[in-house]
Amino acid sequence: MHPGARVYRVRKLCGAGEFATITQALAQWQADKAGLVHHCAAVIEVADSATYHEAPNLTLAPGERLVLRAADTTRPVLRMFDYAGTAQECVAIRCGAGARLTIDGLLVAGGALALEGDPAGAPCQVLLRHCTLVPGWNTEPARAPQWQSRPSLVCTGQGVSLRIDHSIVGALQFGERGDALYIGDSIVDGGHAAALLLADRRQGAAAVSATIVRSTLIGVAQVTHLALAENAIFLGPLLAGWRDSGRVRHCYLAPGSVTPRRERCQPEPGHRGDRHKWQPRFLSLRYGERGYAKLASDCAWEIGCGADDHGEMGAFHDLHRAPLLFERAAAAPRRELIPAPLLSHSDRRECVA
């Protein structure tokens, strides 16, 4: 974090010098900036695992730094006011040129993050780390969400460089012109394999240069430029506009994918066998269940050991479970592997470890 950044602590049962809501902490930072010319960096830390029913607006001037994070061993929830799903409540984030925003360890439900950059200057840097943006918008205690096919993150215009790291998010929507998108060690869930997962506001290709590594994507991903896809699982078609540059390595690609040059991807071109054997098999594709987006032990070894380091493809690559998957698959009698249902609704509660 930027040296000299001031820390604002948020807690439901707040004490002296603390704040009861994130909105209050943001307002205090704005007031402090008015009196201190060089007060351009801040940390807002949520110190409990409570649910905060608010939709704060985050505004960063050019060059400012802000970290909105959960304290160690906590998992706060930012829940929008609109339970009926009609008002389309959102967390509005406006970043000036060269600003940097980090959101770390929060679960956001009931609405979307709306990012807006400054197209006239240097792109702002937005990092989502160890976060959950609940897809489907609505999560109830019984874990039976009212599914709505709305994006969990909307990026309008250009001037935003977005990085999603060790997180769970729903569909992503970009404006007509974007910048860079990085997705690593994450789950991006559109609800089913035919859902529009990554696109622009007109359901066309998202105008971004995308890098997707060690992640599981459930839905159709459309990008103008795919710089790199590696060790990832695409349960819906991956459609890249520019195919003369970029690489796709050690990935599972759904039928109908159109990509740049491929290297050791599954299923291999010209394969004449049953394609169902090479489809990923999951313990569950329903968010909130224990085995959500984890490969089953009887998954085809081409997926379970198909990464470039012989680990498993997808968001749980770094768990290094591949030897166990391979041994079980090799010992079991060969049989038809029925893929997990790809049309199940998804409701998730935990972030990727």
C-alpha span between 159 and 174 (Å, rounded): 11
CA angle 208, 172, 241 (to 5 degrees): 35
| Element housing 41 (H / E) | strand 41-46
Per-residue pLDDT in tens (0 to 9) along the chain, 353 residues: 566 789 999 999 999 999 999 999 999 999 988 776 566 899 999 999 999 999 999 999 999 999 999 999 999 999 987 554 455 688 999 999 999 999 999 999 988 999 998 888 889 999 999 999 988 755 555 555 555 678 999 998 778 999 999 999 999 999 867 689 999 999 999 988 999 999 998 888 999 999 999 999 999 999 999 999 999 999 999 999 999 999 999 999 999 999 999 999 998 766 655 556 678 999 999 888 889 999 998 888 889 999 999 899 999 999 887 665 555 555 554 443 334 333 333 333 333 33
Q: What is the structure's pLDDT at 339?
A: 42
Of 109, 73, 74, give the one whose Cα is nearest residue 91.
109
111-163 pLDDT, tens digit each: 899 999 888 888 999 999 999 998 875 555 555 555 567 899 999 877 899 99
What average pLDDT is seen over the chain? Answer: 84
* Radius of gyration (C-alpha) of the chain in whole angstroms: 21
Alpha carbon distance 326, 188 (integer Å)? 26
The four Cα atoms 125, 131, 133, 134 give a dihedral, to 10 degrees, of: 170
What is the H or E stretch that residue 126 is in?
A: strand 124-129
Q: To which H or E segment does residue 31 belong?
A: helix 22-35
Separation CA 179–CA 261 (nearest Å): 22
- Regarding pTM above 0.85, the answer is yes
Contacts of 43 (CB under 8 A, 6+ apart): 1, 5, 6, 7, 8, 66, 67, 69
Strands (E), 243-327: 247-249, 252-253, 261-263
Long-range contacts of the stretch 81-85 (C-beta < 8 A, 24+)? 81/53, 81/54, 81/55, 81/110, 82/110, 82/111, 83/110, 83/138, 85/110, 85/137, 85/138, 85/146, 85/148
In angstroms, what CA-CA distances link 163 with 129, 130, 191? 8, 11, 21
pLDDT digits (tens, 9 = 90+) for 192-242: 899 999 999 888 899 999 999 999 999 999 999 999 999 999 999 999 999
**CA–CA distance, 78 with 89 (Å, rounded to integer):** 12
pLDDT given at position 337: 37
- Say how many residues make up the chain: 353
> What pLDDT score does 353 carry?
36
Q: Residues 278, 285: contact at Cβ < 8 Å?
A: no
DSSP-assigned states of every residue in 177-206: S--EEEEES-EEE-SSTTSEEEEETTSS-E
CA atoms of 296 and 303, how far apart (whole Å):
10
pLDDT at 4: 74
Q: Which helix (H) or strand (E) holds 328?
A: helix 322-331
Residue 291 is classified by DSSP as T
Chain-centroid distance of CA 139 in Å reads 17
Domain residue extents for the chain: 50-263, 279-331
Write down the pLDDT at residue 121. 83
